[in-house]
């Protein structure tokens, strides 16, 4: 597949929706915002038969090997802080220390490239789910319009000795860009007490996979309706950087399909993670 186009829906404002062909994966728990499922792919995150005896902060059971398992439930509240950048459906991963979603200065994976250029998180989630240290890889149900927020509830079950080391990573495309995305990488969430919350702002990144021409041909968001994913790597440098921002028509760029409304400054997204009672 050479190109994937976003489906942009006007719903009271700009609401970016994308690619319902993906499915959640590697879930050891359940999600209330998207259909969940599925068996896990490694021994480290295999779920035990779930007995819900909740005598402490987290309900516990034990795996067939005898290792104590701990269940934990979380709510994500993801807020779009921009004025004119619809976010693609959030992709999020809960993982241990052996996984990295992206790294500034390094080339983006194809999964990251697809999110950054088209908003489609399917490959990114599938790649994450295949990693042994990933406990959960999933996506939100829809895009998030500027100024709007989305809540996602999910649960997971991990060996007790892995709970404290859990980390959280997140990505959404900034829809009215060539290859810009909002990202959080490896935020520690394992020490959150039940009822406690953690808030983290996301910066904007350039995937380094498409030249920032801001043209109607190449920006897929509703401001431009151009091409989504293209396998070519046409940027100046094939590596992830902090995003330099966009040039609009009002900035003097004749080829730009963007308006000053689509400009932004960091941060672009706020994510609040709350640990719920089991
Ligand atoms: Ca770029
Ligand atoms: Ca590309």
Ligand 1 geometric centre to CA of 229 (Å): 12
Q: Residue 94: in which H helix or E strand, if any?
A: strand 91-95
Instruction: Choose among 271, 18, 13, 24: nearest CA to 134.
Output: 24
> 169 φ, ψ to 5°?
-130, 150
CB 176 within 8 A of CB 248: no
CB 187 within 8 A of CB 261: no
Range scoring the smallest mean pLDDT among 37-41, 59-63, 152-156, 192-196: 37-41
- Note the pLDDT of residue 8: 41
Average pLDDT over residues 154-168: 96
Strands 197-206 and 149-159: unpaired
The angle at the Cα of 157, spanning 156 to 161, to the nearest 5 degrees, equals 125
Q: What is the pLDDT of residues 120-152, one digit of tens each?
A: 999 999 999 999 999 999 999 999 999 999 999
> What's the pTM value of the predicted model, to 2 decimals?
0.82
Q: Which ligand is nearest to the CA of 229?
A: 2
Q: What is the DSSP letter of 5?
A: -
Task: Find where tokens 């319009």 sit.
Answer: 145
Judge whether residue 58 has pLDDT over 70.
Answer: no
Q: Which ligand is nearest to the CA of 246?
A: 1
Q: Which ligand is nearest to the CA of 242?
A: 1
Q: Which ligand is nearest to the CA of 3?
A: 2
Q: Which ligand is nearest to the CA of 173?
A: 1
User: CA gyration radius for the chain?
Assistant: 19
Ligand 2 geometric centre to CA of 49 (Å): 43
CB 39 within 8 A of CB 24: no
Name the β-bridge partners of 274. 75, 197
Ligand 1 geometric centre to CA of 248 (Å): 15
Q: Which ligand is nearest to the CA of 181?
A: 1
Ligand 2 geometric centre to CA of 211 (Å): 9
Ligand 2 geometric centre to CA of 203 (Å): 21
Q: What is the DSSP letter of 175?
A: T
- Between 5 and 112, name the one with better pLDDT: 112
List the end-to-end C-alpha distance of the chain, in Å, as a whole number.
42
Ligand 2 geometric centre to CA of 144 (Å): 23
Ligand 1 geometric centre to CA of 142 (Å): 24
The angle at the Cα of 11, spanning 2 to 254, to the nearest 5 degrees, equals 55
Task: Find where tokens 């993982």 sit.
Answer: 95
Structure tokens at 145: 């319009």
Q: What is the pLDDT of residues 8-35, one digit of tens each?
A: 433 333 334 443 333 344 444 445 543 3
CB 229 within 8 A of CB 253: no
Stated length of the chain: 278
Whole-angstrom distance, CA of residue 52 vs CA of residue 38: 19
Ligand 2 geometric centre to CA of 87 (Å): 19
Task: For residue 163, name the pLDDT band (cuts at 50, 70, 90).
Answer: very high
């Amino acid at each position: 597949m050479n190109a994937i186009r976003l489906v942009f829906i006007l719903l009271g404002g700009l609401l970016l929706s994308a690619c319902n062909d993906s499915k959640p994966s590697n879930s050891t728990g359940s999600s209330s915002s998207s259909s969940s499922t599925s068996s896990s792919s490694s021994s480290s995150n295999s779920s035990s038969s779930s007995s819900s005896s909740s005598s402490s902060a987290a309900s516990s059971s034990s795996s067939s090997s005898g290792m104590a398992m701990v269940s934990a439930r979380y709510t994500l509240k993801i807020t779009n802080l921009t004025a004119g950048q619809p976010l693609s459906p959030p992709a999020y991963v809960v993982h241990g220390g052996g996984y990295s979603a992206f790294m500034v200065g390094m080339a983006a994976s194809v999964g990251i490239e697809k999110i950054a250029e088209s908003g489609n998180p399917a490959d990114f989630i599938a790649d994450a789910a295949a990693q042994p240290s990933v406990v959960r890889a999933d996506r939100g149900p829809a895009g998030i319009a500027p100024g709007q927020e989305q809540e996602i509830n999910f649960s997971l079950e991990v060996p007790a000795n892995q709970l404290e080391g859990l980390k959280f990573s997140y990505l959404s495309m900034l829809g009215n860009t060539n290859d810009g995305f909002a990202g959080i990488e490896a935020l520690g969430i394992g020490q959150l007490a039940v009822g406690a919350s953690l808030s983290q702002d996301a910066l904007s990144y350039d995937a380094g996979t498409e030249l920032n021409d801001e043209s109607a041909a190449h920006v897929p968001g509703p401001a431009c309706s151009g091409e989504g994913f293209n396998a070519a790597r046409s940027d100046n440098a094939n590596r992830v950087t902090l995003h330099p921002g966009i040039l609009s028509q009002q900035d003097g760029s004749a080829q730009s399909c963007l308006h000053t409304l689509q400009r932004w400054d960091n941060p672009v997204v706020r994510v609040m993670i709350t640990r719920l009672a089991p």
